[in-house]
Chains A and B, each alone.
Chain A
Amino acid sequence: MTVNDRIDKATGDLLKRAVVTRFEIEELVVVPIFAVLIALLLGGLTMVATGVDLPTIGLSYASLLQGSVGSLNAISETLTSAAPLTLAGLGIALGFRAGLFNIGAEGQLLIGGMAAAVVGFSLQGVPLVIHLPLALVAGMAAGALWASIAGWLRAATGAHEVISTIMLNLISFRLVDYLLRNPPIQRPGRSDPISKSILESSELPALLQWLDPNLRIHAGIILTLIVVFVVYWLLFRTTIGFEFRSAGANPDAARYGGMRSGLIIVSVMAVAGALAGLAGANQVLGVLGRASPGFSAGIGFDAIAVALLGRGHPVGVLFAGLLFGALEAGGRNMQVGAGVSIDLITIIQALIVVFIAAPMLVRTLFPFAFAKRGNQREGS
């Protein structure tokens, strides 16, 4: 067994759980719901174990709920956090469908965001209707290009995408750091790595700032909904989507059927990279207004969990993105309201992924939820 075979087998096993080939309501809905519930329960037990008293635990979860959906501001924060997670998650889910495990969303997001920032601050005197789309497209193109390096390496040399995307992440961190330190990009008068501010004509417009200047929700969420629909359409209604799915379901059959596997791998990675790049552009153009070394903030990695929780389905990814966005926004409120460490949210997110990756465990723990299908043996 070569290294590639081993990685393929391991990722293949995980992908089987991430991608539901037949529509199966239990796998798609019941397992994730119970995974979230048990993660919240274990989160509570973690708090008990670290000496948090019961009323505080209650207050924590009340704050979590209140901070994620309890007010207009909370909903705005949830959606603002959900948008980039969903966009990058869609890219990773697309990879799952085609049998590719793309760990490189973080780097693609950084490169895409950088490109969007450069277009965002350098084009003077261009109206919003032209400038903003240009900046978004620049982000997508840069992300696509960056990701297709890994696709090309896989197709041409067989280098596994898990390895090459991780390496490309590391390269992108340093590359962005370098770019941000040099004159055309670096903000004048600063010695630390930070880009110039983008021009107003390239900003994703805030949606509700007329109501309250602190509402951060911006047009990126609308963009995200459109992209969810486009990815759904691409995946299930087009020839190329069929090719993507075939390549994932059975690579040999796909090749036998006349599909060019190399081209498919490169294009899947390019589309995934474009989506991650769009997530980066969304952060730069909608939230931060500039680029700096840490603007990716781990979204590219959280998006892997989002894609897993969303079971590789665009609509599932949207809901998973919303949940993770809610956890992020609510976690902040939990820290304010109950004084519980934000690290707990990270633990809960990790637990969700563990239970998604182990559906049999969920079935065993909650047999009653799966009773109807109890006597039908499934291969999973």
Chain B
Amino acid sequence: MKATTITTSLAALAAVAIVGASSPAAAFSACQVTDVGGIDDKGFNETAWKGVQDAKAELGIDIRFLESQAETDYEPNINAFLSEGCGIVITVGFLLGDATANAAQANPDTPFSIVDFAYDPTIPNVLGQVFATDEAAFLAGYLAAGMSESGILGTFGGINIPPVTIFMNGFVHGANYYNAQKGTNVQVLGWDVDAQEGLFTNNFESLDDGRAFAQNLFDEGADIVLPVAGPVGLGSAALADELGTDKLKIIGVDADQAVIDSEKSHVYLTSILKQMDATVLTAIKAAHGGTFEGGVTVGTLENGGVGLAPFHSFDDAIPADLKAELDAIRAGIIDGSISVKG
């Protein structure tokens, strides 16, 4: 049995080697290089990949991805796609900034688009996608402050980089805004806005860290925790699931975690959405249609690039007044009357 399998696979190998060598790579392909979280991180990389998949559905193009296992993979992964003749290379993550800039400058005819990095000055063939995530995080901070029974919120990040800390800034400012409006004293543990220092797992992978950090915050009294570290937050959600949502609730990031992490959907109060799928899709469409231009695109509450996910199982638990206030603040942020910078 084993021998036949081996023989068959060898035969298949030989056959495909011949076919594979002769198949042309003529079609337009959109290629994504992920950060170390991986393509199935239920967040950041996966959301961007959804945009690539949407492009496939809409335009019928080829799509490919490469997962980075370490930061030394960024450059060779991009190069691998360049030698495959990709029509556009999407790099996902601030940490790929250097590698993307180098590759883009060496290959000025290939369109690139990077999520979470804006070059200054801009590179003509790179479209940077950045997000005013603090606008949505502000709403989440206000909501969490209104929902907290202990009056203590918690947050922690993956690595101390701008696309992570912007969530934490907005969250803290949102909670402070609630305090200013209501005369309460809700505190946020894990992030010092003035010093720009706080709790970081220093990785975007370890679910154990996500659990341990959430446990520490819970032990300090926090009953709502915002983990900003991609899949690390799944560990926090597991803890909330075990403790029960009356003790600990989680706010998801990047995508609607209640949908993506469906087994634990009941622990997510809401999620701070960063609609990378939409911006990635737009970038691919532009490259496919020949209208691609480098520069920077900013996702905001106004253009729908960032937002707050539905409340799902907490919909009934959130008072109507609080929902109305959130709507008012949302409008205030869009018209500029409320500043999310504190």
A230 at the interface (CB under 8 A from B): no
Interface string of B99-114 (1 = CB under 8 A from A): 0000100110000000
- Expressed in whole angstroms, the Cα–Cα distance for A177 and B161 within the complex equals 14
In the complex, whether B220 has a CB less than 8 A from a CB of chain A is no
Given A57-B12, A213-B106, A342-B69, CB of A41 within 8 Å of CB of B79: no
How distant is the Cα of A301 from the Cα of B31 in the complex, in angstroms? 30
* Residue among A55, A214, A298 facing the most chain B CB atoms (10 A cut-off): A214
Interface of B is mostly: helix
Does chain B have a CB within 8 A of A59? yes
Question: Given A332-B77, A342-B67, are A287 and B72 neighbors across the interface (CB < 8 Å)?
Answer: yes
Please report whether the interface of chain A is mostly helix, strand, loop or mixed according to DSSP: helix
User: Given that A191-B165, A214-B83, A214-B106 are contacting pairs, would A57 and B13 also be in contact in the complex, using a CB cutoff of 8 Å?
Assistant: yes
Near A by CB (< 8 A), chain B positions 218-234 give: none
Residues of B within 8 A of A81 (CB): 76
**Cα–Cα, bound, A67→B17 (Å):** 13
Q: Which A-chain residue is minimally distant from B67 (CB atoms)?
A: A342
Q: Which residues of A contact B70 (CB under 8 A)?
A: 294, 297-298
Identify which of residues 334-348 in chain A touch chain B, using a CB-to-CB cut-off of 8 Å. 335-337, 339, 341-342
Neighbour of A191 across the interface among B66, B67, B79, B160, CB < 8 A: B160
Q: Which residues of B contact A55 (CB under 8 A)?
A: 12, 15-16
Cβ contacts B7-20/A at 8 Å (1 or 0 each): 01100111111001
Is B84's CB under 8 angstroms from A336's CB? yes
Min CB distance A337 to B, Å, is: 7
In this complex, what residue of B is CB-closest to A59?
Answer: B16
A243 within 8 A of B: no
- The answer on a CB contact under 8 Å between A191 and B196 is yes
Known interface pairs A213-B107, A292-B71, A336-B64; A58-B79 also in contact (CB < 8 Å): no
On whether the beta carbons of A191 and B13 are closer than 8 Å, the reply is: no
Task: Answer whether residue A131 sits at the interface, using C-beta atoms and an 8 A cutoff.
Answer: no
Are B20 and A332 in contact (CB-based, < 8 A)?
no
For residue B75, CB closer than 8 A to chain A, the reply is yes
> Measured between C-beta atoms, what is the minimum distance from A363 to chain B in Å?
19
- In contact, A332 and B72 (Cβ under 8 angstroms): no
Please, what's the 1-or-0 string for A273-309, where 1 marks a CB less than 8 Å from any CB in chain B? 0000000000100011110111101100000000000
B268 sits at the interface (CB 8 A): no
Tally A-B pairs: CB < 8 A: 112
Contact (A335, B67) CB under 8 Å given A55-B12, A58-B9, A290-B98: yes
A77 at the interface (CB under 8 A from B): yes
**B76: min CB distance to chain A, Å:** 6
Cα(A287)–Cα(B31), bound, Å: 23
Are B71 and A297 in touch, CB under 8 angstroms? yes
- B21 surroundings in chain A (CB, below 8 A): 62, 66
B193 within 8 A of A: no
Q: Which residue from chain A places its CB closest to the CB of B74 in the assembled complex? A: A288
Q: By CB atoms of chain A within 10 A, which of B67, B69, B71 has the most?
A: B69
- Minimal Cβ-Cβ distance residue in B for A346: B69
B61 on the A face (CB < 8 A): no
Distance of A339 Cα from B84 Cα, bound (Å):
14
Q: Which residues of B contact A332 (CB under 8 A)?
A: 66, 73, 76-77, 80
Partner of B71, one of A54, A77, A289, A294: A294
List, in ascending order, chain A residues with CB within 8 A of B71's CB: 288, 292, 294-295, 297
Is B202 part of the binding interface, using a Cβ–Cβ cutoff of 8 Å? yes
B8 contacts across to A, CB distance below 8 A: 54
A337 and B5 contact, CB distance less than 8 A: no
Range for the number of chain A residues in contact with chain B: 35 or more
Give Cα distance in the complex from A63 to B13, angstroms: 10
Contact A62 B20 (CB under 8 A): yes
A57/B69 in contact, CB under 8 A = no
Contact of A214 with B82 in the complex, beta carbons under 8 Å:
yes
B72 touches A58 (CB 8 A): no
Shortest Cβ distance from A283 into B: residue: B72
What is the chain B residue whose CB lies nearest that of A331? B69
Which chain B residues numbered 102 to 133 have a C-beta less than 8 Å away from chain A?
103, 106-107
Would you call A62 and B72 a contact (CB within 8 A)? no
Residue pair A44, B72 in contact (C-beta under 8 Å) = no
List A residues 168-220 near B (Cβ within 8 Å): 177, 190-193, 213-214, 216
Cβ–Cβ < 8 Å partners of B31 in chain A: 336
Question: Does B324 sit at the interface, judged by CB under 8 A?
Answer: no
| Residues on A with beta carbons closer than 8 Å to the beta carbon of B44 | none
Closest to B8 in A: A54
Q: Please name all residues of chain A whose beta carbon is closer than 8 Å to the beta carbon of B160 when the two chains form the complex.
A: 191-192
Check if B199 is an interface residue, CB within 8 A of chain A: no
Given A58-B14, A61-B13; A214-B72 close (CB under 8 Å): no
Does B298 make an interface contact (CB < 8 A)?
A: no
**Residue A73 at the B interface, CB < 8 A?**
yes
Question: Quick check: B66 and A73 within 8 Å, CB to CB?
Answer: no
Q: How far is the CB of B39 from chain A (nearest CB, A)?
A: 9
* Measured CA separation A339–B67 after assembly (Å): 11
* A contact residues around B9 at 8 Å (CB): 44, 48, 54, 57-58
Contacts of A224 in B (CB 8 A): none
Complex Cα spacing A263 to B15, Å:
58
Q: Please state if B20 and A177 are interface contacts (CB–CB under 8 Å).
A: no
Beta-carbon contact of A295 and B16 below 8 Å: no
Complex Cα distance, B13 from A48, in Å, reads 13
Residues of A within 8 Å of B202, CB to CB, are: 177, 293
Q: Check if B159 is an interface residue, CB within 8 A of chain A.
A: yes
A-side contacts of B20, CB under 8 Å: 58-59, 62-63, 66, 337
B80 touches A48 (CB 8 A): no
Identify the 6 closest CB pairs spanning chains A and B, nearest first. Answer: A297-B70, A58-B16, A58-B13, A213-B106, A58-B12, A62-B17
B-binding residues in A (CB < 8 A): 41, 44-45, 48, 54-55, 57-59, 61-63, 65-67, 71, 73, 77, 80-81, 177, 190-193, 213-214, 216, 283, 287-290, 292-295, 297-298, 329, 332-333, 335-337, 339, 341-342
25 A/B residue pairs, CB under 8 Å, sorted by A: A41-B6, A45-B6, A54-B8, A55-B16, A58-B17, A58-B20, A59-B16, A59-B20, A81-B76, A190-B161, A191-B161, A192-B95, A192-B161, A193-B159, A214-B106, A214-B107, A287-B75, A289-B98, A294-B71, A297-B69, A335-B66, A336-B64, A336-B66, A336-B81, A342-B69
Known contacts A48-B9, A290-B98; can you find 17 more A-B pairs with CB under 8 A? A55-B16, A58-B16, A58-B17, A62-B13, A66-B20, A71-B83, A80-B76, A177-B202, A191-B160, A191-B162, A192-B159, A288-B72, A292-B71, A294-B71, A332-B66, A337-B20, A341-B67
